[in-house]
Amino acid sequence: MRHPAWGSSAATSSRQRALNALQRIAETLRCPVETLTQAAHLETYPDETAELVRVWFKIEDPAVRRALLAEVRKVAIAQAYPPSSQG
């Protein structure tokens, strides 16, 4: 299944590998692939996204992956909900 963020032309092998990796991540997180790619219509960072996926799968220890994912979630939440400047 191809995601619309990849465009209408035939997927290259690297794009297909990236999509497959995103599908595995989505399955691990128990969320739709669209959740991981929803910002693709606003801004895209294909090089950084591809690198993130490549290095993620090089981490063999599941405990390390869980710890990193927890840290990334903290950063995302902190940016999505910055502390109020009101005291």
Give per-residue pLDDT as tens, 25-75.
Answer: 888 887 787 777 765 555 567 778 888 888 999 999 999 999 999 998 888
Domain ranges across the chain: 10-80
Euclidean distance between CA atoms 71 and 65, whole angstroms: 10
Residue type, position 53, single letter = V
Does the predicted model carry a pTM greater than 0.85?
no
From the list 11, 86, 73, 79, the residue with the least C-alpha distance to 36 is: 73
The beta-carbon contacts of 47-55 under 8 Å, at least 24 apart in sequence, are 49/18, 50/14, 50/18, 53/18, 53/21, 53/22, 53/25, 54/21
